[in-house]
């Protein structure tokens, strides 16, 4: 790790070139969030009722379904609507969506919750599988290949002729977009030095929130869901056109050095040094030149070497750190729906929870930006988990007895804490996993959070019958996570670990730093060392 750090420092450190590349990586976050965030718009269920039978049945129109007094009634006392369903316009600015086009309101209403599940499953598979690709093939190839797939699959969604085809294409599309987001996140983190990692990561999160806020306006302009998907494919294609260039998205020199590909790293680092105003062949009394450092590194690693995430099993500490952060991510993603339902116990409108979650995501990002470098990653994660657990337990035990303003405050506080825990778990895991397995490790942590989010739509399939049990389980997990977070190391201000051995050296430090334990004996003069020694032995 020290050799790689010297090479990066000789290339100008976090100079002008690396700073501009890290800042330029914020813009793709808007486009990727626009493409990934369209799921609520496409699965929104509009208000609908049964139209009068065109054969002349005078029965008035009733919402959803109505009683069937005839002997052939269904077990639930409803009958099909012979006159067809009349749908109001979806409350998200679209004139129609897949739910209304393929009439998925009632008989096929069970497919509604499966849409978010398919979305999250595709995202999860993309994070895990393409995270492995990031470690094997590099950050840039995975990013470019993911954008190519996302553009083609997005265009395929526009032409989908049936709902099952659309579901399959959407799942693959979300997986490709998740892979692009993951590769971008890891490459940005590896471009930054320790003092700037948090700021540039949180800046990217704020740009993602901007994409979330822009999406309803884009839907209002598009009005048709197929046109909206076409715009999404156009955005990812434009992203590929610009950020597919090595000038805007070069391969991560950190990954190249960690895997022993020094010849490829030389070209990129040479460009970084020249762009930052550093002569790569100049050396000072304190430090060697970039050319000298690269020659030493090339002599020590003649062949590229790749590692798989399963090799973490043979480490002593690194696997445990990843497991704890995956557990925190699972809780942060899974418990979020409990707070949303406490906040909106009835059938909520689309805009209120949508913009509330986006606003709280921005607030959590700003909170982390102000505190995670000041207090450290581990104390802030511990604080977020504590607030999360307390808010969840209070809502679980006292929703029926607490005033409405208290329930509202606890729900908002819990949502804010869950957003902060999820975001910090991702950043923390990217900082403690070694470079050689960082893509797959971060993908597994993100996948755990998505698995937690999938618990809510799965419960909706059964009519929310397991909601209370789900709330109890995640509340218990949040309390258990408090003990687990104490075992994590502190990554603030440290260089990124390059190898598995470097990651194993990240050990737990005291939560509250104090001075070394010493015996202070002010009454003994300094000229009496024997008396001080004798008194210390007697004590």
pLDDT in tens, the chain (539 residues): 666 677 777 777 788 889 999 999 999 999 999 998 888 887 776 655 555 555 545 444 444 443 444 444 444 444 556 555 555 555 566 777 787 777 665 555 555 566 777 888 889 999 999 999 999 999 999 999 999 999 999 999 999 888 889 889 999 999 999 999 999 999 999 999 999 999 999 999 999 999 999 999 998 888 888 999 999 999 999 999 999 889 899 999 999 989 988 888 888 888 888 887 776 666 554 456 666 666 666 665 567 888 999 999 999 899 999 999 999 999 999 999 889 888 876 655 778 888 999 999 999 999 999 999 999 999 999 999 999 999 999 998 877 788 888 989 999 999 999 999 999 999 999 999 999 999 999 999 999 999 998 887 776 666 566 678 888 999 999 999 999 999 999 999 899 999 999 999 887 766 655 444 443 444 444 444 444 444 444 44
Sign of the CA dihedral 69, 75, 80, 85?
positive
Do residue 299 and residue 327 come from a single domain? no
Do residue 385 and residue 426 come from a single domain? yes
- Tokens at residue 227, please? 């046109």
How many C-beta atoms lie closer than 10 Å to residue 483's C-beta?
Answer: 10
Query: Could you tell me the residue range of the domain that residue 294 belongs to?
Result: 1-44+110-306
How many Å apart are CA 500 and CA 9, to the nearest integer?
22
Residue 100 placed within a domain: no
3-state helix, strand, coil in the chain (%, to 5): 65, 0, 30
Angular region, 497: left φ>0, alpha ψ -120 to 50, beta rest: beta
Element (H, E) at 300: helix 290-300
* Domain harbouring 38, CATH code: 1.20.1250.20
- Tokens at residue 169, please? 């294409």
Do residue 299 and residue 382 come from a single domain? no
The neighbouring-strand residues paired with 48 are 87
Do residue 233 and residue 346 come from a single domain? no
- Tokens at residue 507, please? 């050990």
- Tokens at residue 92, please? 């998200």
Residue 534 placed within a domain: no
Tally of CA atoms within 13 A in the half-sphere of 377 that contains its CB: 27
The rounded Cα 530 to chain-centroid distance in angstroms is 61
User: CB within 8 A of 271, min separation 6: which ones?
Assistant: 17, 250
Residue after which a domain boundary falls, among 306, 334, 365: 306
Query: What's the confidence (pLDDT) of residue 5?
Result: 72
DSSP state letters, 387-400: HHHHHHHHHHHHTT
User: CB within 8 A of 475, min separation 6: which ones?
Assistant: 335, 389, 392, 393, 396
Do residue 287 and residue 335 come from a single domain? no
Do residue 287 and residue 386 come from a single domain? no
How many Å apart are CA 62 and CA 81, to the nearest integer?
10
How many Å apart are CA 479 and CA 472, to the nearest integer?
11
Residue 519 placed within a domain: no
Residue 504 near residue 391 (C-beta atoms within 8 A)? no
Do residue 257 and residue 336 come from a single domain? no
Residue 485 near residue 382 (C-beta atoms within 8 A)? yes
How many Å apart are CA 303 and CA 300, to the nearest integer?
9
Residue 298 placed within a domain: yes
Residue 333 near residue 449 (C-beta atoms within 8 A)? yes
User: CB within 8 A of 303, min separation 6: which ones?
Assistant: 260
Q: How far is CA 247 from CA 32, 241, 244, 450, 498, in A?
A: 20, 12, 9, 33, 24
Query: What's the confidence (pLDDT) of residue 423?
Result: 97
362: closest CA among 210, 189, 198, 184?
210
Domain count, the chain: 2
Residue 429 near residue 445 (C-beta atoms within 8 A)? yes
Q: What is the DSSP letter of 66?
A: -
Q: How far is CA 25 from CA 91, 195, 292, 305, 431, in A?
A: 33, 18, 31, 28, 18
Do residue 230 and residue 276 come from a single domain? yes
Write a three-state SS string for 403-421: CHHHHHHHHHHHHHHHHHH
Residue 527 placed within a domain: no
Do residue 209 and residue 169 come from a single domain? yes
155: closest CA among 227, 103, 65?
227
How many Å apart are CA 170 and CA 122, to the nearest integer?
8
Do residue 343 and residue 233 come from a single domain? no
Residue 268 placed within a domain: yes
Residue 75 placed within a domain: no
Residue 498 placed within a domain: yes
Residue 524 near residue 535 (C-beta atoms within 8 A)? yes
Q: How far is CA 56 from CA 53, 73, 295, 442, 472, in A?
A: 6, 20, 89, 61, 52
Query: What's the confidence (pLDDT) of residue 64?
Result: 44
How many Å apart are CA 232 and CA 34, to the nearest integer?
7
- Prediction pTM value: 0.86
Residue after which a domain boundary falls, among 280, 306, 332: 306
Do residue 344 and residue 446 come from a single domain? yes
Residue after which a domain boundary falls, among 306, 324, 358: 306
Residue 350 near residue 340 (C-beta atoms within 8 A)? no
Angular region, 192: left φ>0, alpha ψ -120 to 50, beta rest: beta
Do residue 395 and residue 484 come from a single domain? yes
Q: What is the DSSP letter of 314?
A: G
Query: What's the confidence (pLDDT) of residue 75?
Result: 44
């Amino acid at each position: 790790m020290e050799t790689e750090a010297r090479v990066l420092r000789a290339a100008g450190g976090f100079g002008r070139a690396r700073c501009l590349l890290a800042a330029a990586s914020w813009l793709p976050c808007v486009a990727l969030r626009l493409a990934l965030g369209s799921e609520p718009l496409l699965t929104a269920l509009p208000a609908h009722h049964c139209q009068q039978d065109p054969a002349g049945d005078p029965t008035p129109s009733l919402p959803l379904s109505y009683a069937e007094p005839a002997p052939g009634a269904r077990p639930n006392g409803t009958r099909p609507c012979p006159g067809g369903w009349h749908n109001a316009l979806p409350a998200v600015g679209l004139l129609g969506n897949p739910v209304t086009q393929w009439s998925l309101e009632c008989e096929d209403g069970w497919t509604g919750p499966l849409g978010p599940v398919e979305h999250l499953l595709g995202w999860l598979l993309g994070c895990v599988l393409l995270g492995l690709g990031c470690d094997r093939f590099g950050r840039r190839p995975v990013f470019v290949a993911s954008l190519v797939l996302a553009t083609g699959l997005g265009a395929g969604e526009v032409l989908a002729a049936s709902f099952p085809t659309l579901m399959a294409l959407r799942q693959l599309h979300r997986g490709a977009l998740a892979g692009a987001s993951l590769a971008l996140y890891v490459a940005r983190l590896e471009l930054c030095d320790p003092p700037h990692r948090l700021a540039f990561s949180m800046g990217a999160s704020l740009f993602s929130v901007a994409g979330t806020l822009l999406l309803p306006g884009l839907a209002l302009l598009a009005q048709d869901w197929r046109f909206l998907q076409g715009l999404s494919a156009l955005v990812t294609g434009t992203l590929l056109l610009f950020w597919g260039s090595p000038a805007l998205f070069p391969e991560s020199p950190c990954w190249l050095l960690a895997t022993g590909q020094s010849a490829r790293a030389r070209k990129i680092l040479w460009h970084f040094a020249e762009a930052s105003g550093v002569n790569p062949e100049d050396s000072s009394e304190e430090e060697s030149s970039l050319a000298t450092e690269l020659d030493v590194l090339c002599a020590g690693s003649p062949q590229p070497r790749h590692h798989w995430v399963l090799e973490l099993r043979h480490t002593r500490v690194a696997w445990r750190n990843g497991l704890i952060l995956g557990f925190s991510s699972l809780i942060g993603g899974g418990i979020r729906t409990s707070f949303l339902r406490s906040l909106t116990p009835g059938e909520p409108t689309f805009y209120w929870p949508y913009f509330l979650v986006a606003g709280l995501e921005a607030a959590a990002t700003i909170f982390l930006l102000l505190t995670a470098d000041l207090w450290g990653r581990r104390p802030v994660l511990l604080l977020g988990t504590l607030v999360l657990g307390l808010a969840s337990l209070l809502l679980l035990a006292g929703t029926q007895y607490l005033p409405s303003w208290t329930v509202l405050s606890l729900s908002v506080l819990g949502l804010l804490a869950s957003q902060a825990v999820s975001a910090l778990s991702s950043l923390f895991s990217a900082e403690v996993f070694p470079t050689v397995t960082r893509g797959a490790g971060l993908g597994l942590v993100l996948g755990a959070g998505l698995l937690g989010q999938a618990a809510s739509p799965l419960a909706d399939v059964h009519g929310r019958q397991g909601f209370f049990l789900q709330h109890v389980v995640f509340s218990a997990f949040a309390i258990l996570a408090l003990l687990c977070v104490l075992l994590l190391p502190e990554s603030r201000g440290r260089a990124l670990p390059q190898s598995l051995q470097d990651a194993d050296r990240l050990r737990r430090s005291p939560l509250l730093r104090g001075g070394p334990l010493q015996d202070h004996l002010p009454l003994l003069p300094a000229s009496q060392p024997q008396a001080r020694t004798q008194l210390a032995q007697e004590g």
